[in-house]
């Protein structure tokens, strides 16, 4: 993969100047590549990784497995686009699994809100056969960033 994309994915706050120095390229060339990646839809945006374990009233997050009957013309794409259109859905993926086809990461105020979403919105989508919801209790790592704060905590996780 492109080293520039790797660097941006690890830290989107790096400036074009910093990236140019790291990649031994001119700043103008780096800016041009970034703009081209944006135009091509390769770079979709930037984000901040938040440790919700430390945020009071952060709500809940769930992983929802979705079994789907694919559409004749669009396969899984049409259902995936519908699932992705809901505001509380953070991510949707097509998965290679014998038990489900799509996996969605969903955030809600509480368990009841996510449960209502599954029962009233997700399960009523044409082609959705079944769902399985898994609530996340603790995040240890996200987007390559560890949320373990010290060695004592890391050691206890290994034991």
Q: CB neighbours (10 Å) of residue 53?
A: 12
> pLDDT value at position 41?
94
Residue 64: its pLDDT value, please? 98
Could you tell me if residue 96 is inside a domain?
A: yes
Three-state SS letters, 111-140: HHHHHHHHHHHHCCCCCEEEEEEEECCCCC
Q: Would you state the pLDDT for residue 138?
A: 92
Number of domains in the chain: 2
Domain of residue 94 covers 52-135
Which has the closest alpha carbon to 125: 72, 63, 74, 81? Answer: 81
Same domain, 113 and 85: yes
**How many angstroms separate the Cα of 127 from the Cα of each of 66, 81, 90, 100, 142?**
10, 13, 21, 13, 31
Tell me, yes or no, whether 108 and 56 share the same domain.
Answer: yes
Task: Let me know whether 131 and 76 are in one domain.
Answer: yes
Query: What pLDDT score was predicted for residue 155?
Result: 47
> Same domain for 89 and 112?
yes
Asked whether residue 72 falls in the same domain as residue 131, the answer is yes
pLDDT at position 110, please?
Answer: 96
- Mean pLDDT for back-to-back runs of 10 residues, the chain (159 residues): 88 92 96 95 88 90 96 93 97 94 97 97 95 95 83 50
Contact 48, 13 (CB under 8 A): no
Same domain, residue pair 56 and 87: yes
Which residue from 64, 135, 73, 134 is spatially nearest to 101, judged by alpha carbons?
Answer: 64
Supply the pLDDT for residue 50: 86
């Amino acid at each position: 993969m492109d080293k520039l994309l790797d660097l941006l994915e690890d830290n989107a706050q790096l400036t074009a100047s910093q990236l140019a120095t790291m990649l031994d390229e001119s700043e103008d060339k780096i800016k041009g590549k970034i703009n081209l990646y944006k135009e091509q839809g390769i770079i979709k945006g930037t984000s901040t990784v938040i440790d919700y374990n430390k945020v009071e009233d952060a709500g809940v997050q769930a992983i929802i497995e979705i079994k789907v009957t694919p559409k004749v013309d669009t396969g899984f794409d049409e259902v995936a686009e519908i699932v992705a259109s809901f505001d509380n859905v953070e991510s949707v993926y097509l998965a290679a699994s014998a038990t489900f086809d799509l996996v969605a990461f969903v955030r809600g105020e509480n368990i009841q809100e996510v449960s209502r979403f599954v029962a009233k919105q997700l399960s009523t989508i044409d082609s959705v056969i079944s769902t399985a919801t898994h609530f996340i209790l603790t995040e240890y790592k996200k987007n390559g960033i560890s949320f373990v704060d010290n060695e004592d905590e890391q050691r206890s996780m290994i034991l």
